[in-house]
């Protein structure tokens, strides 16, 4: 008999959420038997209710309170319990489970993900913003509650798979597709529309991460994520453009070996690894890698003048852990403004840089590192407010 793994999923209606659900629904002898505990979504009650019915979830929560009665109605007659709002999300994450998949977008994932940490569950972490804004504190909490962080972000998942001796690491090399504007001139990039920015060449993802990929903010957030997750100084983390997205990242050791994880660009592979860890499970639905057919893999260094985000992220890290906290919050506000066509594409990066520098110059008081999560949330809120003012100005 296969063991049963109780799994909860935050952000069940998104891109990662859908891939996770497809894995949880497949069944075979070599896999653990998954029991879906709770599912959450922000607004889409129809999709959430359908997922709850299909997976026989114990509990569902909708972040938007106004959708609570509609969700109740849709689940009338089923055994699934229903919650709403921030409390509902936290309840969903706090329900006893073995693995909590964190796939909400943005720092909004932090509070509920911490509920999973506090109950000592394994955290299959797709959401990178929570670790960027709460870095050290997040990992300290994970250690304290004996909660294992299993990276789902494909690059970090790749590193996690091939990292066998931290002490002998010379470099972590994060690969990046380069996004839709890899070969676009800076002048053209200034005119980029949200439609062009979300059209990622290799991956189909939510709007926010797609825009982040286009500006290389995504890789910048990932650099910070790697710094915290693998406790690696930023000088030991490189970014390499690899347009085919086949090598998902590499670890370079001091004996000259470089280990990499390869596969077709399909998030089901890293999600399955996190779900089945410490073993592997078969994923029949993922296209197999045929290097003979692909023929060539290519690489180039990132254009740091065109994609300034990478250097700004490194500066943010040098400022202390408050830096990434501010960096992430401002970017979230700027991406939202760009998607609403309130600012141009290039303004995302320049707004982030300007606001970060205003904080660094002590315009809002002497900056110190957050000592607890309340400090993290407070700084996040303040940075969002300043970012909004900056955009309006």
Instruction: Please give the residue ranges that form the binding site for ligand NAD (CB under 6 A).
Output: 11-17, 41-42, 44, 63, 103-105, 108, 126-129, 153, 203, 205-206, 209, 267
Cβ-based nearer residue to Mg ion, 58 or 153: 153
Give Cα separations from 357 to 110, 166, 215, 326 (angstroms).
25, 33, 19, 10
- Selection from Mg ion, ligand NAD, none that 58 binds (CB < 5 to 8 A by kind) is none
Cβ-based nearer residue to ligand NAD, 5 or 128: 128
Instruction: State the minimum distance, in angstroms, from the CB of residue 218 to ligand NAD.
Output: 7
Burial grade of 73 (CB within 10 A; 0-12, 13-18, 19 or more): exposed
Of 85, 84, 89, 87, which Cα lies nearest the Cα of 72?
Answer: 84
Cβ-based nearer residue to ligand NAD, 26 or 44: 44
- Selection from ligand NAD, Mg ion, none that 211 binds (CB < 5 to 8 A by kind) is none
As a whole number of angstroms, the distance between CA 273 and CA 285 comes to: 14
Interstrand relation of 237-241 and 247-253 (parallel, antiparallel or unpaired): unpaired
Instruction: State the minimum distance, in angstroms, from the CB of residue 137 to ligand NAD.
Output: 18
Which value, to the nearest 10 degrees, does the dihedral of the CA atoms of residues 52, 55, 57, 61 take?
A: -30
As a whole number of angstroms, the distance between CA 366 and CA 343 comes to: 29
- Selection from ligand NAD, Mg ion, none that 98 binds (CB < 5 to 8 A by kind) is none
- Selection from Mg ion, ligand NAD, none that 129 binds (CB < 5 to 8 A by kind) is ligand NAD
Give Cα separations from 330 to 189, 334, 354, 361 (angstroms).
20, 6, 10, 16
- Selection from Mg ion, ligand NAD, none that 214 binds (CB < 5 to 8 A by kind) is none
Cβ-based nearer residue to ligand NAD, 128 or 308: 128
Instruction: State the minimum distance, in angstroms, from the CB of residue 205 to ligand NAD.
Output: 3
Instruction: State the minimum distance, in angstroms, from the CB of residue 11 to ligand NAD.
Output: 3
Residue nearest to ligand NAD according to CB distances in the complex: 14
Cβ-based nearer residue to ligand NAD, 203 or 253: 203
- Selection from ligand NAD, Mg ion, none that 387 binds (CB < 5 to 8 A by kind) is none
CA angle 384, 389, 391 (to 5 degrees): 95
Cβ-based nearer residue to Mg ion, 91 or 153: 153
Cβ-based nearer residue to Mg ion, 89 or 267: 267
Instruction: State the minimum distance, in angstroms, from the CB of residue 267 to Mg ion.
Output: 9
Instruction: State the minimum distance, in angstroms, from the CB of residue 269 to Mg ion.
Output: 12
Contact (Cβ atoms closer than 8 angstroms) between residue 100 and residue 116: yes
Omega prior to 106 cis, within 30 of 0: no
Cβ-based nearer residue to ligand NAD, 286 or 360: 286
Cβ-based nearer residue to ligand NAD, 25 or 144: 25
Contact (Cβ atoms closer than 8 angstroms) between residue 201 and residue 179: yes
Instruction: State the minimum distance, in angstroms, from the CB of residue 332 to ligand NAD.
Output: 10
Instruction: State the minimum distance, in angstroms, from the CB of residue 69 to ligand NAD.
Output: 18
Cβ-based nearer residue to ligand NAD, 209 or 312: 209
Q: Site residues (CB under 5 A) for Mg ion?
A: 153-155
- What per-residue string of b and e applies to 303-330 under the rule 16 or more CB within 10 Å gives b? eeeebbbbebbbbbbebebbbbbbbbbb
Of 55, 61, 48, which Cα lies nearest the Cα of 24?
Answer: 55
Give Cα separations from 291 to 141, 243, 259, 264, 297 (angstroms).
41, 15, 17, 10, 9
Concatenating the DSSP letter of every residue in 279-296 gives S----TTSPPP-HHHH--
Instruction: State the minimum distance, in angstroms, from the CB of residue 335 to ligand NAD.
Output: 11
- Selection from Mg ion, ligand NAD, none that 386 binds (CB < 5 to 8 A by kind) is none
- Selection from ligand NAD, Mg ion, none that 147 binds (CB < 5 to 8 A by kind) is none
Instruction: State the minimum distance, in angstroms, from the CB of residue 168 to ligand NAD.
Output: 27
Residue nearest to Mg ion according to CB distances in the complex: 153
List the structure tokens of 101.
């998949």
- Selection from Mg ion, ligand NAD, none that 119 binds (CB < 5 to 8 A by kind) is none
Instruction: Return phi, psi of residue 347, to 5°.
Output: -65, -20
């Amino acid at each position: 008999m296969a063991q049963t793994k109780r799994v909860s999923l935050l952000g069940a209606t998104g891109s990662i959420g859908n891939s996770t659900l497809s894995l949880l629904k497949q069944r075979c002898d070599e896999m653990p038997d998954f029991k879906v505990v709770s599912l959450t979504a922000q607004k889409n009650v129809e999709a959430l209710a359908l997922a709850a019915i299909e997976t026989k979830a114990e509990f569902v929560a909708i972040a938007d309170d106004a959708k609570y009665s509609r969700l109740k109605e849709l689940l009338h007659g089923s055994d699934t319990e229903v919650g709403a709002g921030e409390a509902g999300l936290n309840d969903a994450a706090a329900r006893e489970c073995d693995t909590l998949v964190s796939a909400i977008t943005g720092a909004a994932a932090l509070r509920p993900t911490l509920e999973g940490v506090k109950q000592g569950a394994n955290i299959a972490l797709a959401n990178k913003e929570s670790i960027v804004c709460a870095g050290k504190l997040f990992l300290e909490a994970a250690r304290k509650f004996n909660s294992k962080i299993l990276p789902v972000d494909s690059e970090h998942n790749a590193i996690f798979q091939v990292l066998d001796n931290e002490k002998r690491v010379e470099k972590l090399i994060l690969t990046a597709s380069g996004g839709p504007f890899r070969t676009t001139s800076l002048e053209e990039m200034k005119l980029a529309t949200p439609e062009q920015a979300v059209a990622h060449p290799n991956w189909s993802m939510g709007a926010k991460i797609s825009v982040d990929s286009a500006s290389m903010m995504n890789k910048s957030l990932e650099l910070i994520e790697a710094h915290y997750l693998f406790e690696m100084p930023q000088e030991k983390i490189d970014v390499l453009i690899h347009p085919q997205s086949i090598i998902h990242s590499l670890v370079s050791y001091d004996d000259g070996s470089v280990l990499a994880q390869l596969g077709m660009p399909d998030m089901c592979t890293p999600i399955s690894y996190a779900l089945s860890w410490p073993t592997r499970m078969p994923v029949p639905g993922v296209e197999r890698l045929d290097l003979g057919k692909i023929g060539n893999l290519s690489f180039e260094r990132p254009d740091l003048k065109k994609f300034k985000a990478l250097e700004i992220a490194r500066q943010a890290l040098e400022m202390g852990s408050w830096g990434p906290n501010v960096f992430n919050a401002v970017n979230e506000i700027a991406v939202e403004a760009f998607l609403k066509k309130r600012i141009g594409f290039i303004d995302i990066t320049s707004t982030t840089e300007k606001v970060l520098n205003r904080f660094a110059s002590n315009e809002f008081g002497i900056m110190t590192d957050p000592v607890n999560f309340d400090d993290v949330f407070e700084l996040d809120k303040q940075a969002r407010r300043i970012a909004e003012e900056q955009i309006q100005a």
